[in-house]
Structure 1
Amino acid sequence: MDTDRYLERIGVDPTTVTPGAIDLDTVARLQHAHVGAVPFENLAIVGDPFDDATDGEGVVLDLGHIHEKVVERRLGGYCFELNGLFGWLLGELGVDTHRVAARVVGDDGTGRPPANHHTNVVTFDRRFLVDVGMGIPTMRRPLPVDGEVVTDSAGVAWRVVESDRPDETHLTQYRRPGEAAWRDRYLFTDVPRELSYFEATCDYLQSAPESPFTGEPVVSVATDTGHVKLKRDTLVRYEGNERSEEPVAAEDWHDVLARRFGLQYRTA
C-alpha cells in the first residue's frame, strides 16, 4: 500500500499522520475524511447506465485491485471494497484492527444473507466500530461497542446494543435528528475475518437479480451535515430529516457524477 497516496485520496495531508503513533482521534479524522471523499457506489456492478452494451467491470476482492481502483483511479465502491481497503490502511498505520462480518437489517427486520456487510473493529482503551462502507446514513466516527451513544456531524445518533438473536451478538442502531425510536442498521458478531470470507456473498450481491446492487445505479457520499445521492434520473440531498430532489437528464448524468462525486466513470 502507498499510504501517502491513500491519505491524499481522502484529502488528508500525509505529514499529519504518523504511522505507529495513531490515536482514536486520528482514526476519527481519517474516517470522517474518507466518507466525504470516496463515494459508496455500485457502478462496477451495473456499468454505465446510459450504455446498455457496456457491463460493469465487476468487484474483485483483492486488496491490490481495490487499491488501484479507489486510490489510483479515484473511484468508489461498496462495503467489501471500502472497508476492506480502509482496514488495510489502519493496519499499515499501526492500528490494532480486524475485519468483522455483519448483516444489514432489511425492512422486515431480518439480516440476510449472512456476511452481506463488511465492517472493522479497532481497539484502543476499548473496542470501536469503524465503518466507511455504508450508504445512507453513513457512519462518520468510531462507534463504541459498549453501548455508548455518539452523535455525528449530521445529527444522527448511533449505538451498539446486545442482539437478541442466537446467531449474532451485537446490533448497530441509529436515530435521525428529531426521532424518538431507534432504527436497526446491522447485526454483527465480533469475530475476526479474512477478506476472503466475504467472497461468496460478494459474488451473490453483484450477480443475483434480487440483489439491491444489480438494479439501478446508486452513488452516495457524505457532506458536512448530510448526504447527497445520485440515482439514474435524480439527485437527492439529505440534510437532517429534510430531503430534496432535482431531476437529472441523461445527457447531464456523467457531468453530475464528476462534479458532485469526483467520479470519471464514463465507459462509452
Structure 2
Amino acid sequence: MEPDRYLERIGVDPASVDVGAVDLDTVGRLQHAHVGAVPFENLAIVGDPFDDADDGAGVVLALPHLYEKVVERERGGYCFELNGLFGWLLAELGVDTHRVAARVVGDDGDATPPANHHTNVVAFDRRYLVDVGMGTPTMRRPLPVGGEVVTGPVGVDWRVVESDRPDETHLTQYRRAGDDDWQDRYLFTDEPRELGYFEATCDYLQSAPESTFTGDPIVTIATETGHARLKRDSFVRESDGDEREEPVAPDEWHDVLKREFGLEYRSP
C-alpha cells in the first residue's frame, strides 16, 4: 500500500491528508472523491461483452491484488473489492475502522445470500457507515449508525435504523428527492470481519448463473449531479433526477468506457 498513490488515484492531494490525524470530515471527503473516481463495475467477472472468448479474469480478494487492479491499473470493481481496499486505506491513514458484512435487500424484499455486501464502519465521536462500493444510488457521505438522516449532494436521503429482523441489528435505507417512503438498501450487524470472511459469497456472486454480476456488464460511477451508467448497448446519464439514455454501438463501447469512466478494458 502506498497511500499517497491511492489518494492521487481518487483525485485527492496527499498533502491535504494529515496521516494519523484524519478526522470525520476528511473521511467524508475521501468517500465523496472515491465514488466519483473509481467505477463500480463487474468486467473482471463478465469480461469483454463483445469477445466470446473472454470470460473475465475473475475477482481475487487479496489486498495486494486489489491495490494493483484499482490503483495501479486504474480499474474499478464491486463491493468486496472497493470497500475492501478502501478499508485498508483508512486503516493505513490511522482511522479506527473495521469491515462489516451486510445483506443487500432485493426488490422482492429478499436479503440473501448472507454477506452479499461488504461495507465499513469507522469510529469518531460515534460510529459511522462508510461505503464506496454500492453502485446506485450512491452513498457519498459517512452515515451515523443511529437513525439520523443525512442528505447527499444530489438530494438522496440516507439513514441507518434498527432492524426488526432477528438475524441483523441495523437497516440502511434511502429516499430519493420527492419520495415519501424509505427504501431498504441493506441489512447489517456491526461486527468486525476479516476480508477472507467474504470469499465464499464473492465466489458465488461471480460464478452463479442467477447472480446479478454474471449477466450483462455493469459499469456505473457517481457524478456531481447524479450518476452515469454503461450497459451493453446504451449509455445512461442521470442528472438531478432525470435520466437520458442513448444507444451505443459495439464499435463505440470501449470509447465510451474510456471517455466517461476512465476505464480501459481489453480482452487478455
Scaled to the shorter chain, the TM-score interval is over 0.9
Give aligned-pair identity as a percent: 78
Question: How far is the alpha carbon of 1:239 from its aligned partner?
Answer: 1.9
Is 2:31–2:131's contact at 8 Å kept on the other side of the alignment? Answer: yes
Q: Distance in 2 between matches of 1:154 and 1:8?
A: 24
Report the alpha carbon displacement of residue 93 of structure 1 after superposing the two structures with TM: 0.2
Tell me, yes or no, if structure 1 residue 80 matches structure 2 residue 80: yes
Which residue pairs with 1:113 in the alignment? 113
Asked if structure 2 preserves the Cα contact closer than 8 Å seen for 1:155 and 1:225, the reply is: no
CA contact (8 A) 2:99 2:192 kept: yes
Could you report, residue by residue, the CA deviation over 1:31-57 in whole angstroms, capped at 9, with x for unpaired residues? 000000000000000000000011201
Alignment of 1:105-184 (within 5 A): 105-184=105-184
Kindly report which structure 2 residues correspond to 1:206-225, keeping only aligned pairs within 5 A, or say none: 206-225=206-225
Aligned residue for 1:213, secondary structure, equals helix
Retained in 1: the 8 A contact 2:102–2:119?
yes
- Give the 4+ runs in structure 1 shifted more than 6 A: none
**Alignment partner of 1:30 is 2:30:** yes
Distance apart, 1:152 and its partner CA: 0.6
Q: Does 1:5 align with 2:5?
A: yes
Question: Partners of 1:123 and 1:239 in 2: how far apart?
Answer: 33
Q: In the aligned structure 1, how far is the partner of 2:248 from the partner of 2:22?
A: 42
**C-alpha contact 1:100 1:191 (8 A) present in aligned 2:** yes
Q: Which residue of 2 aligns with 1:18?
A: 18
Q: Distance in 2 between matches of 1:158 and 1:56?
A: 34
Cα distance, 1:115 vs. partner? Answer: 0.1
**Aligned CA-pair RMSD:** 0.7
Within 2, Cα distance between the matches of 1:182 and 1:208? 30
Q: Which residue is 1:230 aligned to? A: 230
Does structure 2 retain, via aligned residues, the 8 Å contact 1:177–1:240? no
Q: Residue 69 of structure 2 aligns with which residue? A: 69
Aligned to 2:190: 190
| Structure 2 segments unaligned to the other structure (5+ residues) | none
Separation of aligned partners in 2, 1:214 and 1:191:
29
**1:213-262 superposed Cα distances (whole Å, 9 cap, x missing partner):** 00000100000020000000011111232121010010000000000000
Give the Cα–Cα distance (whole angstroms) in 2 for the partners of residues 132 and 195 of structure 1: 16
AA aligned opposite 1:17: V
- C-alpha distance after superposition, 1:139-171 (max 9, x if no partner): 000000011000011110000011110000000
TM-score norm. by structure 1 comes to 0.99
